[in-house]
Chains A and B, each alone.
Chain A
């Protein structure tokens, strides 16, 4: 079955710390991968996406993610977080032949302290 796993449910960091959020997917075929952010009280925003090509994807707000096919992973990184990065982060996958539907991970709640 197609699924997305996010291992860190709740992460607490201080400002300027580095961030890495884990994401693994379960599917044997071609996938498109996404990271979304949901700030408190707001709707989902796309941070970055991977469709093909360079496995290192750069997104908005200084975020990047690396697609490692052999590990079925798409971890999100940011070298130095800010208080404004406090939000919920969702990894998502669209599987080929999956009728375009997006499958989400459980989400990671990030709290950044000043």
Chain B
């Protein structure tokens, strides 16, 4: 089945640094990738939608300059958390739509900012 590979699975970084999270579609072309954030014991909040070759669409309240999204190819979408702060610590998940199947999800990245 279609797989989205997400890396890294865990990352710890210092405040003020930037972290890049990658999602690769392994056996299909993902023209669209959704990026979610999941707070502890909470649901998934859609942050933005990335589209190959065009600017990402951000949900209301999500800082574009803080969460940089790039979708440069049909198999790779990246989320960069810039100047990370402890409040950015969270679980980040990517997801690609799969037509009638629904959606395939990455395994998630747990970001801890210290």
Residues of A bordering B, CB below 8 Å: 32, 34, 42-44, 46, 49, 51, 90, 99-107, 109
Total B residues in contact with A, Cβ cutoff 8 Å:
21
Residue of A nearest to B31 (CB): A100
Give 17 A-B pairs besides A43-B106, A44-B93 with Cβ atoms closer than 8 angstroms: A32-B102, A43-B93, A43-B107, A44-B44, A46-B103, A49-B102, A51-B100, A90-B44, A99-B57, A100-B32, A100-B34, A101-B46, A104-B44, A105-B43, A106-B42, A107-B43, A109-B41
- Check B49 against A99 for contact (C-beta < 8 Å): yes
Closest A residue by C-beta to B106:
A43
**Can you offer 22 A-B residue contacts whose CB atoms are under 8 A?**
A32-B102, A42-B107, A43-B93, A43-B105, A43-B106, A43-B108, A44-B93, A46-B103, A90-B43, A99-B49, A100-B32, A100-B49, A101-B46, A101-B49, A102-B46, A102-B95, A104-B36, A104-B43, A104-B44, A104-B45, A104-B46, A105-B43
A-B contact count (CB 8 A): 43
Contact of A100 among B44, B97, B106, B107 (CB under 8 A): B97
Q: How far is the CA of A46 from the CA of B102 in the complex (A)?
A: 9
Interface class of chain B by DSSP: strand
- From A99, which residue of chain B is reached at the shortest CB distance? B49
Minimum Cβ distance to chain A for residue B77 (Å): 14
The one of B42, B49, B102, B107 in contact with A34, judged by C-beta atoms closer than 8 angstroms, is B102
Which of A42, A43, A49, A103 makes the CB contact (< 8 A) with B46? Answer: A103
A32 to B6, CA, bound (A): 25
Residues of chain B contacted by A107 (CB below 8 angstroms): 42-43
Once the chains bind, are A102 and B34 in contact (CB under 8 Å)? yes
